[in-house]
Structure 1
Amino acid sequence: MTQTVLITGASTGFGQSAAQLFAAQGWNVIATMRDPCAGAALATLDNVLVTRLDVQDPASIDTAIAAGVERFGQIDVLVNNAGFGLFGVFEGTSREKIREQFDVNVFGVMDVTRAILPHMRQRRAGVIINVSSGAGVFGLPMISAYNASKFALEGFCESLSYELASQNITVKIVEPGGVVSTGFGSRSAAEAAQLCTPGDYDAFVGAALKAFEGLRGERLATSEDVAQVIVDAASDGTDRLRYVATQDIEPLVKARRETSEVEYMAMMRGKFSSGIR
């Protein structure tokens, strides 16, 4: 039987690329997004249903899942991809924006997952793939709220994986780094423009931005590369939890997970504090 995947945030970036790749490989795809008009190209494909799902609107989650089951009969894989990143110094970030960061990146994932679990439990089968980030593994300056949301997501996924194994449902985490072909950066820049950062941080921000420029130069992956990792995770039949999706973050992931705390922190402080007096 043809398998079916539901993807959140499928209008751009990883979600859109994953929807296209799943569809090309013969899957049924429920491509969800806040504005279905943004999925006009996907809607032309016979095996794709484009429908509205806003992770901050629980009613839309239930409606999208019901529409997908009605169209394709079942949902085998959920890809929680919808998300965004706040960029800027914590002190300049409003409480309201931080709440929104968690509403989308954490509580939205939880709400979609909770809504689909009865369907998967009834079938005693399913795969849930949550798109995290290198920022779910290592901390970086200027993205403390985003870091916090992805650290929370990783902890949730790991804990949930033990619970759902009892129901024959597998949880997986895909960890991409910087990718050149998504709309993620433009939204982060727009969000940053609304912040009010105290001038005392100017020297630090300048040094940190230079460090980030160096990291951007190493971004060779595309959203299609990440989509391939998502499809592989959905298809490999294993209970593997984590998938590092882009090569650019592999050194930092290795350093965070395999070196001592003292060595790691000295390395990171050197990257983001050089030139500050």
Structure 2
Amino acid sequence: MMAKTILITGASSGIGRASALYFAEKGWSVAATMRDPQKADAALQQPQISVLALDVTDGSSIANAVAATLARYQKIDALLNNAGYALFGPMEASDSEQIQQQFATNLFGLIEVTQQVLPVMRAAGQGLILNVSSIVGRLALPYASSYVATKFAVEGLSESMRYELDPFHIRVKLIEPGSILTEFGKGSMQVATSEPYQVSMNKFLGVFTKSNARAASPEDVAKVIYRAANDASNRLRYLAKPGPLFWLNRFLPDAAWRRLLVKAMVK
């Protein structure tokens, strides 16, 4: 029986890299894609893994990676849309180019990769789309408005697509990590600054950094992704160590939640 094949975007580091290694360890064939394959971790150089160039903001790059995956493995059983980064800072300080790039990578890139893979899955009569969202796809935090907006959009997009794709036996699943111990500050995070907001933003980033220190590792999240990939149910959302903020948001009244967040992060 042929091994299952997964195409992963943003596999050079963090969740994407950890997922590529974990799926390969479990016997899957992995197309580990990234903008610059020359930067691939040496650990990805193994028989189960093909390292391919794919820039989610470039349609021809996506097409070439899909074609290369099919040439190597003849199928794509699952797509893990993982590529993305976080833009932090007040909305007022984020210029239009920063905001457009945030959406181009985190949302429009995810959409175009999915659009190019879906015909392959429809022809096969089955498939699985795994979209990496975040707990901020369900709750908003200060100084992350553009990033939060992209994750809210991914949540709605995924929920809508699962109805559209059900007749073709293509399932859609969302992975919702909390803070991740990943490459923040090394390409996965950008910060827009503005003097009037600086004091409160610094406090927020301090809280975020503390939270990140207690976060799930990329390897922890990869295991959740693998569990979702092998769950034959129609479950949509899979939390990956969401942390206390998520549960407080779920159970506190809105006024109490807002007071807590403002006290802890803003004032």
User: Could you say whether these structures have the same fold, taking a TM-score greater than 0.5 normalized by the shorter chain as the test?
Assistant: yes
- 2:233 is aligned with 1:232: no
- 2:257 is aligned with 1:244: no
- Cα distance in 1 for partners of 2:185, 2:41 equals 23
Contact 1:137 1:256 (8 Å CA) reproduced: no
The number of aligned residues is 266
Structure 1 pair 4–266 and aligned structure 2 pair: CA distance change class (3 A):
same
Tell me what 2:122 maps to. 121
1:43 CA displacement: 5.2
Match of 1:266 among 229, 252, 259: 259
Q: Kindly, what percent of the aligned residue pairs are identical?
A: 42
- Cα distance in 2 for partners of 1:251, 1:68 equals 40
- Cα distance in 1 for partners of 2:112, 2:245 equals 31
Tell me what 1:105 maps to. 106
Tell me what 1:130 maps to. 131
- Cα distance in 2 for partners of 1:206, 1:15 equals 29
- 2:161 is aligned with 1:160: yes
TM-score of the superposition, structure 1-length normalised?
A: 0.90
Paired AA for residue 174 in structure 1:
I
Tell me the alpha carbon deviations over residues 33-77 of structure 1, each in whole angstroms, 9 at most, x when there is no partner: 101112252553112111111000101111111111111111100
Contact 1:136 1:150 (8 Å CA) reproduced: yes
What are the equivalent positions in structure 2 for 1:49-128 lying under 5 Å apart?
49-128=50-129
Matched residue SS, 1:83: coil
Q: Which moved more, 1:40-49 or 1:136-145?
A: 40-49
Contact 1:131 1:174 (8 Å CA) reproduced: yes
Structure 1 pair 263–114 and aligned structure 2 pair: CA distance change class (3 A):
same
Tell me what 1:215 maps to. 211
Structure 1 pair 225–123 and aligned structure 2 pair: CA distance change class (3 A):
same
Match of 2:250 among 230, 233, 257: 257
Task: List runs of 5+ in structure 1 lacking aligned partners.
Answer: none
Tell me what 1:204 maps to. 200
Task: List runs of 5+ in structure 2 lacking aligned partners.
Answer: none
> What is the RMSD computed on CA atoms of the aligned residues?
1.7
- Cα distance in 1 for partners of 2:186, 2:45 equals 27
Structure 1 pair 244–53 and aligned structure 2 pair: CA distance change class (3 A):
same
1:202 CA displacement: 2.9
Structure 1 pair 238–134 and aligned structure 2 pair: CA distance change class (3 A):
same
Contact 2:56 2:110 (8 Å CA) reproduced: yes
